[in-house]
């Protein structure tokens, strides 16, 4: 063989070797892990619990779920979307904000890839109603909290042999009995800095669900039914019969409007409690004494129904997950979040309720099990009304108006001002 041929053959073998090396390197290079970015308002311990909740999904699918939480959720989300860089998924604490993005065409309808049968298998109709806009489902509910709760002093109830009321008439009779026995039924305080007033609006909303059909509630929160209407007036009137009667509320009006919402229930824990009941959502235990024992120091019962024809309504809050970017891995995550198993790790660690049909009471313990049992018996569920209204109303004139009314302002003028504040 000539030197020239040998040289050419050598170069050819070298090139083939290089190709093999390069191909091997390319083949061994790992594929990029698919990721889904979730943006929400909760941080700290709740963010850690969300990470625990999605870990089984990550392990099963190989998809990496990255969660970013911000106390400036709304402002940062608006900015990201305006810059053309939305998160894949947003966890909305207010359905009204999600609806704004739906109206702008930013949110993907989940009914484009999840069937009606899937939704009906995993949620009661009320939860689906609250995620539906123009006949399309845009969000899945994941974590929920219950507001229709009354806390009570267990030692005081046991000492006086008081029974838990199951109807509004029984609640009123219990209140009168407590007064007759020399006690005061209710602990109420509404102060919360710039958010003062929401305690009162929660009472109005909870009562209205018990005195008017849910269609009226939906019309009210969407601006179709005015505040100055018989339905809303009836709810405020029933609240007033309790709040404005100084024999029913410890300290009367002046105490209500000068005491924080988290200090007021502490009166129940005194050895000789100043008041025996407190209506508040499940989160209020955060402010209870550190050494309190559920079932021994305090218990909880369902805020009773008023009109039997309206069943057992529940006022709730929660996180509604919606999808900005339509990719296969994002669809997979949304499908997972719509199932009860996605909430099981969070439920078992405590501090949250699952809105899913498949959630078992066996997953819960302590007070959480009591809340979950109440929620499971609800015949209709609706979100906090003020959170569904435009900000200038729900977190503005409604809050302010109720504070003014409790301080003695004329109700006619208060309702007129709230109606005039609604953006048209």
Over residues 199-214, the pLDDT tens digits come to: 999 999 999 999 999 9
Q: How far is CA 131 from CA 140, 141, 142, 151, 237, in A?
A: 7, 8, 12, 30, 31
Per-residue pLDDT, 12: 42
Spatial distance between the Cα atoms of 203 and 379, rounded to a whole number of angstroms: 19
pLDDT confidence of residue 23: 45
What is residue 32's predicted lDDT score, i.e. its pLDDT? Answer: 86
pLDDT above 70 covers a percentage of the chain that reads 93
CA 197, CA 401: separation in Å to the nearest integer? Answer: 8
Per-chain mean pLDDT for the chain: 93
Mean pLDDT over 250-258 rounds to 97
Query: Tens of pLDDT along 285-327?
Result: 989 999 999 999 999 999 999 999 999 999 999 999 999 999 9
pLDDT of residue 221: 97
Predicted pLDDT at 13: 43
Average pLDDT over every residue of 61-82: 96
Whether the domain at 35-146+317-378 and the domain at 149-314+385-421 fall into the same CATH topology: yes
Q: Are strands 380-383 and 313-323 parallel, antiparallel or unpaired?
A: parallel
**CATH number, domain 35-146+317-378, options 3.40.190.10, 3.30.930.10, 1.20.1060.10, 3.40.50.2300:** 3.40.190.10
Q: Where are the domains of the chain?
A: 35-146+317-378, 149-314+385-421
Residue 30 pLDDT class (50, 70, 90 cuts): low
Token representation of residue 234: 């009836």
Whole-number percent of the chain with pLDDT over 90: 91
Task: With a cut of 60, say whether residue 84 has pLDDT above it.
Answer: yes
Q: Do the Cβ atoms of 302 and 171 come closer than 8 Å?
A: no
- Looking at domain 149-314+385-421, its CATH class is alpha beta
Q: How confident is the model at residue 18 (pLDDT cuts 50, 70, 90)?
A: very low
Q: Say what the pLDDT of residue 337 is.
A: 99
Q: Are 278 and 150 in contact (CB under 8 A)?
A: yes
Averaged pLDDT for residues 343-364? 96
Residue-wise pLDDT tens digits, 131-189: 999 999 999 999 999 999 999 999 999 999 999 999 999 999 999 999 999 999 999 99
Mean pLDDT in residue range 352-368: 96
Q: Quick check: 17 pLDDT over 60?
A: no
């Amino acid at each position: 063989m000539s030197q020239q041929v040998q040289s050419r053959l050598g170069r050819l073998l070298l090139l083939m070797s290089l190709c093999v090396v390069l191909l091997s390197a390319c083949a061994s290079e790992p594929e990029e892990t698919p990721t889904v970015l979730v943006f929400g308002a909760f941080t700290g311990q709740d963010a850690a619990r969300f990470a625990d909740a999605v870990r089984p999904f990550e392990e099963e699918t190989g998809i990496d779920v990255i969660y970013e939480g911000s106390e400036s959720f709304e402002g940062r989300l608006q900015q990201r979307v305006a810059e053309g860089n939305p998160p894949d998924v947003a966890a909305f604490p207010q359905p009204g904000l999600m609806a704004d993005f739906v109206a702008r065409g930013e949110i993907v309808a989940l009914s484009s890839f999840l069937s009606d049968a899937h939704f009906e298998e995993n949620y009661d109709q009320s939860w689906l109603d609250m995620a539906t806009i123009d006949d399309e489902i845009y969000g899945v509910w994941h974590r929920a909290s219950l507001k229709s709760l009354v806390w009570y002093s267990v030692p005081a109830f046991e000492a006086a042999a008081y029974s838990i009321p199951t109807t509004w008439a029984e609640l009123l009779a219990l209140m009168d009995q407590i007064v007759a026995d020399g006690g005061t039924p209710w602990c109420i305080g509404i102060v919360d800095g710039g958010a003062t007033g929401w305690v009162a609006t929660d009472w109005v909303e909870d009562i209205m669900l018990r005195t008017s059909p849910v269609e009226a509630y939906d019309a009210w929160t969407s601006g179709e039914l005015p505040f100055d209407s018989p339905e809303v007036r009836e709810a405020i009137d029933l609240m007033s019969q309790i709040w404005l009667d100084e024999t029913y509320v410890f300290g009367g009006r002046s105490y209500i409007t000068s005491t924080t919402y988290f200090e007021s229930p502490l009166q129940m824990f005194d050895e000789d409690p100043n008041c025996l009941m407190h209506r508040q959502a499940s989160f209020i235990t955060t402010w209870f004494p550190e050494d309190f024992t559920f079932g021994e120091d305090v218990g909880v019962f369902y805020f009773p129904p008023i009109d039997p024809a309206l069943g057992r309504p529940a006022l709730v809050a929660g996180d509604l997950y919606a999808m900005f970017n339509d990719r296969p891995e994002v669809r997979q995550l949304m499908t997972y979040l719509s199932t009860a198993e996605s909430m099981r790790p969070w439920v078992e660690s405590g501090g949250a309720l699952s809105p899913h049909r498949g959630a078992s009471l066996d997953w819960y313990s302590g007070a959480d099990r009591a809340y979950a049992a109440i929620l499971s018996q609800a015949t209709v569920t609706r979100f906090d009304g003020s959170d569904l209204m435009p900000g200038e109303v729900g977190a503005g004139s409604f809050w302010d108006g109720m504070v003014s009314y409790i301080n003695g302002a004329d109700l006619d003028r208060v309702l007129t001002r709230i109606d005039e504040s609604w953006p048209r």
